Amino acid sequence: MIRLINVCKDYETKAGPRRVLDSITLDINPGERVGILGRNGAGKSTLIRLISGAEQPTSGVIERNMSVSWPLAFSGGFQGSLTGADNVRFICRIYGVEFEPRLEFVEDFSQLGIYLNEPVANYSSGMRARLAFAISMTIDFDCYLIDEVMAVGDEAFRDRCKEELFVKRRDKAMLIVSHSHRYLKETCERYLLFREGRVDEFEDFNEVYFLYKQMLGEGFDNKEQMIAAMQQ
Amino acid sequence: MPSKNAPSPTLGRLVNQSPWTINRRVISALLIREMLTRYGRNNIGFLWLFVEPMLFTILITLFWTATKTIHGSNIPIVAFALTGYSSLMMWRNMPNRALSAVTSNMSLLYHRQVTIMDIYTSRILLEFMAGTTSFVALGVIFYAFGWLTLPEDSLQVLGGWMLLAWFGAGLGLTVGGLSEKFDVVKKLWPPFAFLLFPLSGVAFIADALPPHMREIVLWLPMLNALEYLREGWFGSAMHAHYDVPYVMIFNLVLTFMGLSLVRQIGLDSSEVE
């Protein structure tokens, strides 16, 4: 279980400190898939960074009894002058897992072919994304952090990603940030709505999506109208 | 080994390991990554590690030999230049590499095992390894050509080298930690290092200075350590001036300051979303 207790996060801005998250308390249970909605800048990615441990909260406590992934398909950690295979090796070294089988898996999954032995700096953005996703799948975590990534690659690759994530890893906890209602509705059991530094929890997708849309100022008059629009 | 058809989650099952094991593993992974990035795969980049100090040593030797009639000193010049430049590589390069080490490796912190301290440790360790390799290799080469006599007291040379390395590491942590706190440090360190360069004994021995000057520059720990090292190498040809306890206390203070500064980095992040 991951437990956040009264977690606050401030960022320094020119206009003084800005509170992005304001005493958040929530649990993420094993095997649970939690969808995250909110405007840009509402603190969604900040929460992901805090849970992953990349940043420390300004105050409050984060307890982790599960292993937590880095944000899925995150390619910022790549060193451009290293090859794709080097980057795989680096991750394997850090996590202390055997390299050969993972390289084989990455080769197979990313289908980068000979490019796997080229510097990442020469990759196209699609190739980078494929490598990043494949590397993310080489380590087995209890909880995966997924921050707006499912839009990468072509159709076939997206299908493979879905299979890898939601079929083979259906028993894993996941935290999913997305703007796609179809995707969230299909995959998640519980939803968090970020508003002005606070977080509200919902079980029902239609309810949270209705509020979310209202918040964006593109609200529907009632839920029935929204559901009809979503089915189009 | 799992076959390709087996569900991939059996790959990379994470096992709990002791913090010490994780620490060592992460640092060695970072070291290899830094090495590949800096020196490249084809080993040509690695050569520059020797070319720069070698050029410097040869130039100093030529200059010194040409002006020998003027100064009439008996110092073994190759050993003098080699020790001088190598010491510079210790105390200047470690802070250089520690500057913005975290900023440029921020994304690695997404991996929970990687700590800010690991990033500094690996960078400083790599600089130590590079400096030591260059020092030893050039020593051996110059010795093979007969330009250099062996140290009179190898242990003292080693001790001096360790003092320099310790000073470089402490300074690296301090400068690195400060640079994450105050951006201006990134701009100020290079000119500051440039200023220290001529005072640090790279191109003089303390005994050659007028006494009142000597007293001032001997406040610099790297000069003390270098004097100690040089006395170990060719002590009978010079009169060394140093205070080893002073260097050690200085290093200790620097190290504690550096460690506490680095510890603070993770706590007050000012990154804007």
Q: Find the closest chain B residue to A44 by CA distance.
A: B273
Are the Cβ atoms of A79 and B28 closer than 8 angstroms? no
Q: Find the closest chain A residue to B21 by CA distance.
A: A96
Residues B249/B187, Cβ–Cβ less than 8 Å: no
Report chain B residues whose CB lies below 8 A from the CB of A53: 109-110, 112
Bigger pLDDT: A141 vs B14 = A141
- pLDDT reported for residue B70: 60
Are the Cβ atoms of A105 and B108 closer than 8 angstroms? no
Of chain B, the percentage scoring pLDDT greater than 70 comes to 87
- pLDDT reported for residue B69: 62
For residue B122, the distance in angstroms to the closest alpha carbon of chain A comes to 13
Q: What is the mean pLDDT of residues A203-208?
A: 86
Are the Cβ atoms of B11 and A102 closer than 8 angstroms? yes
For residue A200, the distance in angstroms to the closest alpha carbon of chain B comes to 21
Question: Which residue's entry shows tokens 């894993």?
Answer: A172
Are the Cβ atoms of A56 and B270 closer than 8 angstroms? no
Q: How far apart are CA B204 and CA B220, in angstroms?
A: 14
Checking if the pLDDT of A78 tops 70, the result is yes
Give the predicted TM-score (pTM) of the model: 0.84
Q: Which residue ranges form the domains of chain A, and what is each CATH number?
A: 2-231 (3.40.50.300)
Are the Cβ atoms of A97 and B11 closer than 8 angstroms? yes
**If we measure between CA atoms, which residue out of B114, B127, B133, B95 comes closest to residue B27?**
B114
Q: How many beta-carbon pairs under 8 angstroms link A with B?
A: 115
User: Could you please report the per-residue DSSP string of A193-230?
Assistant: EEETTEEEEES-HHHHHHHHHHHHT---SSHHHHHHHH
Residues B83/B233, Cβ–Cβ less than 8 Å: yes
Q: Which of A71-75, A163-167, A169-173, B13-17 has the lowest mean pLDDT?
A: B13-17
Q: Find the closest chain A residue to B14 by CA distance.
A: A140
Cβ under 8 Å to A: B residues 253-272: 266-272
**Predicted complex ipTM:** 0.80
Residues A202/A210, Cβ–Cβ less than 8 Å: no
Q: Which of A116-125, A148-157, B202-211 has the lowest mean pLDDT?
A: A148-157
- pLDDT reported for residue B4: 41
